[in-house]
Structure 1
Amino acid sequence: MPDDLTERVNRALAKMTVRNDLKERIARARAELNSIFDETKSYFNEAIDGIIREFKLTEEDVNELNRFKETLLTLLDRAHEQARTRLEELDAAYIEKEGKTFKVATGNTVALLVTEKGSVRLVLHNISATAYFPLLFQRDLEALQLGWAASDEGQNGARGVRPLMGTTKPWQLLAWAACRPGHLRISVYGVYLRKKGRPSVSLRATAEDWFHVPKQEAWKLLRAKCEPLSLLTLYLGDGAYYVRAKPRAVILRIWVGNHAITLPKSIARMIVEKAYATKYGDLLDMLKCEKWEALKMKAYSPRAARLDPDFALRRLFELAESPSLPQQNL
């Protein structure tokens, strides 16, 4: 078969595979769209009301948080309507392959982006606004920022070199915003259509009053200072947990490059105590963050801590610099 014909056949087969997969994802998204947006709005409503209730804020800060909440809810309403319209239009969509990405378009508008790894995003346009998130706590703010900068935080080059957080987890947006208080440019970026599981709303926020710290520089500062709170936000960004059945235990890991570091109980307890001292722990309680709950389970498990926490913390950062092993334990 000639090379050009082979290429055309391969492209056609690829499009058929993508189209069949997309039909299932689109059907699931249509069925769950209302509940997904309602749940996201309800989460932000309850979480921000909880912050207002539990933190000692000035009247001005309370007003700012209420405006922040209303901005988020308005954006989600607009995104919900646009997503519903886009999903309805997809029956008439066509598929084109550009490099490693499939673009699914309706007319002149790209409606879906499908990556080579199988991620599918329903593209939403012009769903953004600026809102102000007040300063909840000043103590140890830099240490908290470093962990985010070394993990999930990116940069928005279009607005200078500003810190950017993109996430499908509502708790993460608020946990990060509290570390980057001030003016935030918030966008509802799209809806991810999952092959397994429910769709999720994609959120982005740019901190317009801060400068982004590059990851390598953030790691250098993080290792030099060895701050427990930096390790906390590093874990919230690039960490994971699982509960082992026998013997029952919570395993906490942070991914550094291509290898994982396991957190011992001594460090987990140090992190939790420091987080509560700075009020960030109270915030995470209100945000109902599963990673935080797992960290507390580890910190207060019946098993005795084996290592001095200060030694363990420095040893962990030494291990983080070693690229030789796929997984390292203290």
Structure 2
Amino acid sequence: MIAPQLTHALAGWLDHCRALNGASENTITAYRGDVMGFLAFMQTHHGDQVGLGPIARITTGDMRAWMAHERGRGVGARSLARSLSAVKTFYRWLSDREGFEPTAVLSIRAPKFTKKLPRPLEIDAARAMIDRVECQATEPWVAARDVAVVTVLYGCGLRISEALGLTGRALPLPDILRIKGKGGKERIVPVIPAARAAVDAYARLCPHDLTGNAPLFRGIRGGPLNPRAVQKVMELSRLQLGLPASATPHALRHSFATHLLTAGGDLRTIQELLGHASLSTTQAYTSVDSVRLMEVYDAAHPRA
């Protein structure tokens, strides 16, 4: 059994992450699961209650045993690296509070893994996707809804949770949207005319009340639209268009960033539009071929 003082410490760390670091509830849930899994292993590993004392005495051997156990039960390198990061962050916070030496934990290296680069759609494929999703539904308002959602994802670079989080108060869509993203961070996103027109067309046909704080995008029965419904309509459309499995709702966000950069957009500006805390994250979301990069370089580089 995990000692009460350690459970209390974990709760305190999660509150710290939530209040000072702006972590989202999904992140908090992931952190809690990662650290609790680690502590549960240490309890079994040592055969005793896991309290502050045993935690302060964890060795590199203990850490390697935990990582081997995780890999043995099928946890991938990427997921294990995430769990290790959460454990290290918690351990650093706890050691500062309790005054013990954290080197044994902090010195453990994360397993190596190959980062999967996002695969944005080509411009023609993105347009074809918007046209094709309209053909999947038999009810006109549902077809208009699907077009509106996909157009907003691609035209504004929103996460699907952000798009489905819009309420009736957003109608009619303004030129600028204030979007609250991960960690409650707010950003300003311009709305292109095509997105405004698509949402207006959907709002005119939708049989449900779209006023106030009610969800803007609705399911068949009037409840909030499930992300899975958007994923499914895109799956059907990509199969009909012969597009790869990577043509997902999130790929439209990648495509938004990549196509802006290809058109000469500034990486820092795109970072702001996407709501990324780190520029390196934005770089991973963009994909520009070497020819285009050389064109930008030649246009910008000072010549003698």
Structure 2 length-normalised TM: 0.27
**Which structure has the higher relative contact order (CA within 8 Å, separation 6+)?**
2
Whichever structure has more strand as a proportion of its residues is 1
Structure 1 length-normalised TM: 0.25
> Greater CA radius of gyration, 1 or 2?
2
